[in-house]
Amino acid sequence: MGARVAAANAAAEQKLRLQSQQILLQQQQLLLLQQQQQQQHQTQHQQQQQQQSQPLQQPQAQHASKHQPHSSSKAGRPKPPHSGRHSKGGQDSVRGHGEADQASSWSSSHGSPPNGPHRHYHKEDESDADAHPNEGGHGQRSALLEDFRNNKSNKKYELKDIAGSVVEFSSDQHGSRFIQQKLETASDEEKQMVFEEIMPHALQLMTDVFGNYVIQKFFEHGQQDQKTALAKQMEGHVLSLALQMYGCRVVQKGLEHVHTEQQAVLVKELDENVLRCVKDQNGNHVIQKAIECVPAEHIQFIINSFTGQVFSLATHPYGCRVIQRMFEHCADTKTPLMDELHKYIPNLVQDQYGNYVIQHILERGKPSEKALVVSKIFGQVLQLSKHKFASNVVEKCVAYGSKSDRQKLIEEVITTKPDGTSPLVLMMKDQFANYVVQKMLDVVDGPQRDVLVTKIKPHLPSLKKYTYGKHLISSMGLFFFFFFLHLFSDVKKKKKKKKKGNGSSTNLFLFSFFFF
């Protein structure tokens, strides 16, 4: 009899070892897949950062499109739109945060999404060259430009070599790049030669697919009197330039590099047309730049035009970016608009663009402003956490709310409802809400985290059925807890087929073997 028991124990041990090896192998494969996905995401993120940090000297066909998020690349959660975000973030994830990188290209930040710096200048892409095979429709090239483009003799060209043809070169894809590069290191005499040729054609070049970059480069590297003269050429045309794909970039660059008095003159031309610009795919970038660069006393008319329009702008793909910039740079004058915004928080948190504005307040607002947003979330944590866009806001409440507010949010989640349902369990199994639970685990510590983990552990076996539940288990670092729980549940079932004493000794043996 003893031999049979020993043989049975040995067989059970062998079977459990095989099961454990299989589970460990599956876990290793899962971890490897997660690492590959993380590396892929990091590579994409680095490429995006490099693109945004490069000198933006060439055009892109569109200013706007979607997520800072800024934010995460979680499945099903959208990324931020250009200088704003449509999905969760800023952009950033297929969950809804408004191009509010939306970034500023939805980011400044991103922004970033909504969150983060917004990209207002764009490098030239192939669509520009394809759309203008004859270099913007400027006709047949001169012999000099043709020789320059072919350069069969490998001649090293200098700016003096194109004297008399600067405008033609500025309107050519390769010629424009040549001038831009040379202006960065040109002498004052060379700059003056180029400047004198482009001045009579400055307005034309400002809206040219390639010429606009030469004008921008002059604002960066020209003499101050040259910058002033170029800005003078824009006077009377600021609105039309702001609404034009290439002209809007020149206006932005001009606002960055001219004196305050001239800034005020230029932006004043947008009075009576602020909302038109805000809702335009090109003009919104000019309004953002004015808010960033021009002193508040000279753009009060912009702020005044937002009164009574906050909800409309916050839920607009371009307007949400502008509202975020205003909250960033106009702290002394934003209070009336913030008061107006507070009335619409419940609607904005669930809007594909408005959620970025609320996230921005949670990230950068005053403690009192953050507390007001969090107060609107209380009592609706489960409902909002399961919402594609609002779940981003709940995450930010957890991350940026006060310690006491965070405690209240967690208490609401871990408290069982009168009907016996657990908000925490429902959230752990939801495609969006599970990220909120993960965020709670990320930011809380001490007793708060202990309570949360204690509430989660009993539900780990059921989480294995859900993809999102598995993500949560992995993020908690509780795989081995789950493994032992699964292992001993199988042993418990087999106990009924064995004698009580032998079964107990087998359990004890296995626990000692695997745990120690």
In a domain, 88, yes or no: no
3-state secondary structure of 10: helix
Q: Which of 166, 258, 259, 160 is nearest to 214 (CA)?
A: 166
pLDDT score for 83: 41
Rounded-to-integer distance, Cα 268 and Cα 239, Å: 10
In a domain, 402, yes or no: no
Q: Which of 263, 267, 221 is nearest to 242 (CA)?
A: 267
In a domain, 241, yes or no: no
| Count of domains for the chain | 1
3-state secondary structure of 49: helix
Rounded-to-integer distance, Cα 42 and Cα 21, Å: 31
pLDDT score for 388: 96
In a domain, 38, yes or no: yes
| Phi, psi angles (nearest 5°) of residue 212 | -60, -25
Q: Can you count the helices (H) and strands (E) in the chain?
A: 31, 2
In a domain, 511, yes or no: yes
In a domain, 42, yes or no: yes
pLDDT score for 301: 95
pTM to 2 decimal places: 0.70
In a domain, 329, yes or no: no
In a domain, 168, yes or no: no
Domain that holds residue 21: 1-54+500-516
Tell me the average confidence (pLDDT) per consecutive run of 10 residues in the chain, 516 residues long: 60 64 68 71 62 42 37 47 40 37 36 40 42 53 93 90 96 97 96 97 98 98 97 98 98 98 98 97 98 94 94 97 93 80 95 97 93 95 96 96 92 89 88 92 84 82 70 60 51 54 45 40
Q: Which two tokens stand for residue 433?
A: 């809400």
**HEC sequence for 205-238:** HHCCCCHHHHHHHHHHHCCHHHHHHHHHHHCCCH
